[in-house]
Structure 1
Amino acid sequence: MSAPVKDDVKDKVADYLEAALGKPVDLGALPDDAPLGVLGLDSLTTIGVLVALLEDAGVDLGEYADSLVTPSTLGDLYALADRFAADPEPETTTEAQPQGGTGMTGDQRSQLDFYRDKLAYEIDSADLEDALAAGQDIVVVDGRSSESYAHEHIPGAISVPHRSISQESLSGLSKAPLYVAYCDGIGCNASTKTAVKLATAGFRVKELIGGLDWWKRDNHPTEGHAGRRVEPSGAACGCAG
Structure 2
Amino acid sequence: MIDRAEFYAAKLTYETDPSDVHAALKAGENIVVVDVRSDEAWAQGRIAGAVHMHYSEIASCAAAEIPEGTDVVVYCWSPGCNAGAKGALEFARLGYAVREMIGGFEYWVREGYAVEDSDGVHHRPVDPLTGIARIRAHA
TM-score by length of 1: 0.49
Indicate if the aligned counterparts of 1:140 and 1:157 stay in contact, CA closer than 8 A.
Answer: yes
Query: In the alignment, what sits opposite 1:6?
Result: none
Looking at CA atoms only, which structure, 1 or 2, has the larger radius of gyration? Answer: 1
Runs of 4+ displaced beyond 4 Å:
231-234
**CA offset digits 1:51-96 (Å, max 9, x no partner):** xxxxxxxxxxxxxxxxxxxxxxxxxxxxxxxxxxxxxxxxxxxxxx
**Residues 197-206 or 226-235, more deviating:** 226-235
Question: Percent of counterpart pairs with the same letter?
Answer: 35
* 1:133 matched to 2:33: no
Alignment of 1:136-147 (within 5 A): 136-147=29-40
Alignment of 1:15-94 (within 5 A): none
Query: In the alignment, what sits opposite 2:70?
Result: 177
TM-score by length of 2: 0.83
**Greater strand share, 1 or 2?**
2
Indicate if the aligned counterparts of 2:48 and 2:114 stay in contact, CA closer than 8 A.
Answer: yes
Shift in alpha-carbon separation, 1:118–1:175, aligned structure 2, 3 A: same
Contiguous gaps of at least 5 residues in structure 1:
1-106, 237-241
Query: In the alignment, what sits opposite 2:135?
Result: 235
SS in 2 for 1:223: strand
Query: In the alignment, what sits opposite 2:107?
Result: 214
Which structure is higher in RCO with an 8 Å CA cutoff and minimum separation 6? Answer: 2
SS in 2 for 1:171: helix
Number of aligned residue pairs: give it. 128
Shift in alpha-carbon separation, 1:132–1:118, aligned structure 2, 3 A: same
Indicate if the aligned counterparts of 1:182 and 1:208 stay in contact, CA closer than 8 A.
Answer: yes
Contiguous gaps of at least 5 residues in structure 2:
127-132
SS in 2 for 1:193: helix
CA RMSD of aligned residues (A): 2.1
Report how far residue 135 of structure 1 moved.
Answer: 0.4
Alignment of 1:101-180 (within 5 A): 110-166=3-59, 168-172=60-64, 173-180=66-73
Q: Which amino acid aligns with 2:112?
A: N
Q: Which amino acid aligns with 2:61?
A: S
SS in 2 for 1:132: helix
